Amino acid sequence: MALLEVNNLGISFGGLRAVDNFNITIEKGDLYGLIGPNGAGKTTVFNLLTGVYVPTDGSIVLDGVKLNGKPAHDICKCGMARTFQNIRLFDKMSVLDNVKTALHNQVKYSLLSSIIRTPAYFNAERNMDKKAIEILKVFGLDRICEYKASNLPYGMQRKLEIARALATNPKLLLLDEPAAGMNPTETQELMDMIRFIRDNFDIAVLLIEHDMNLVLGICEQLKVLDYGRIIAEGDPVKVVNDPRVITAYLGE
């Protein structure tokens, strides 16, 4: 069975059909791209998948679990994690604490044991620190883990957001324009990193991106959205040369 199966997904805001009849099947280890002109409904798809919006119709099944209508934090627990188009870190917290908040759902200690500071509390906290540092190492952020998140340069904030999403222990990682605002060198680095994450964390990646170098460089399959509908899908090189896609981007 596929990792993610989405059938006939749709949402209406009043009279506006923002996403209509959206289908996607993602297998374990896939690197999938979702592209389309501005306002096509790409981020809305992410919001539907992660529970920010409740779909009007359709079904979302992740690893055999139906996700429709579950609250966002439960969907996250089921193995769906994401980053945002405009970075949304916990600015006032340290780099380490940002990652640790994402580890909460995997660590259990009671409120009481944290107040009277039992060994269980210290063990749990130490394990969380260790796990967080491990993830930060992948991104080269472990040496600056005490910095405040808002003090990091832009590129590092992007990386930290991916690290935080990875810390929730996802099966599927959704990246919303990960290369936005990056220069070509940084984008190249990001591509290597996404491949590395896919291989080493045993996850599938679905990403929204406008940077065609990145899309063609790493995505194995593409879906193209326009006005909330899929207009093309399949092999990236074929898809971007599809006349319908070119028309959607550039007009007649």
Partner 1 sequence: MLTNILEQLINGLRTGSIYALIALGYTMVYGIAKMINFAHGDIIMVGAYALYVAVALLHLPAIPAVIFTCVVCAVLGVIIERIAYKPLRNAPRLAVLITAIGVSYFLQSASLIIFKATPIPFQSIINVDSINIGGVTISGITIVTLVVTTISMIILTFFINKTKAGSAMRAVSEDMGAAQLVGINVNKTITMTFAIGSFLAAVAGILYICQYQSLKPTMGALPGIKAFVAAVLGGIGSIPGAMLGGIVLGIIESFSKAFISTELSDAIVFSVLVIVLLVRPSGFLGKKKSEKV
- Is residue 121 within the footprint of partner 1 (CB under 8 A)? yes
Contacts from 106-110 at CB under 8 Å and sequence distance 24+? 106/169
Residue 76 CB, nearest approach to partner 1 (Å): 4
Chain position carrying tokens 């590395």: 196
- Is residue 82 within the footprint of partner 1 (CB under 8 A)? yes
CA angle 23, 206, 200 (to 5 degrees): 135
Residue 220 CB, nearest approach to partner 1 (Å): 26
- Is residue 68 within the footprint of partner 1 (CB under 8 A)? no
Is there a contact between 12 and 181 (Cβ–Cβ < 8 Å)? no
- Is residue 212 within the footprint of partner 1 (CB under 8 A)? no
d(CA 60, CA 69): 10
Please identify which residue in 97, 142, 186, 189 interacts with partner 1, judged by CB under 8 A.
97
Q: Which two tokens stand for residue 228?
A: 């909330």
Residue 73 CB, nearest approach to partner 1 (Å): 5
- Which is closer to partner 1, CB of 112 or CB of 237? 112
- Is residue 205 within the footprint of partner 1 (CB under 8 A)? no
Tell me how far CA of residue 202 lies from CA of 52, 164, 218, in angstroms.
Answer: 25, 16, 16
d(CA 95, CA 115): 24
Q: Which two tokens stand for residue 193?
A: 């990193």
Q: Give the burial class of 106: count Cβ atoms within 10 A of its Cβ; 0-12 exposed, 13-18 middle, 19 or more buried.
A: middle
- Is residue 101 within the footprint of partner 1 (CB under 8 A)? yes
Tell me how far CA of residue 115 lies from CA of 97, 103, 121, 129, 175, in angstroms.
Answer: 19, 20, 9, 19, 37
Binding letters toward partner 1, positions 164-183, x by CB under 8 A:
xx-xx---------------
Q: Helix and strand tally (H, E) in the chain?
A: 10, 10
- Is residue 112 within the footprint of partner 1 (CB under 8 A)? no
List binders of partner 1 among 32-61 (CB under 8 A). 50-52
What three-state secondary structure class fits 13? Answer: strand
- Is residue 104 within the footprint of partner 1 (CB under 8 A)? yes
Of 16-24, 37-45, 79-87, 187-195, which segment contacts partner 1 by CB under 8 A? 79-87
Please identify which residue in 57, 69, 107, 202 interacts with partner 1, judged by CB under 8 A.
107
What is the helix (H) or strand (E) element at residue 234, kind and residue range? Answer: strand 229-234
What three-state secondary structure class fits 184? Answer: helix
- Is residue 129 within the footprint of partner 1 (CB under 8 A)? no
Of 11-19, 33-41, 102-110, 241-249, which segment contacts partner 1 by CB under 8 A? 102-110
Q: Which two tokens stand for residue 47?
A: 């919001």
- Is residue 5 within the footprint of partner 1 (CB under 8 A)? no
Residues that bind partner 1 (CB under 8 A): 50-52, 71-73, 76-77, 81-82, 84, 88-93, 97, 100-102, 104-105, 107, 109, 111, 114-115, 121, 124-125, 128, 164-165, 167-168
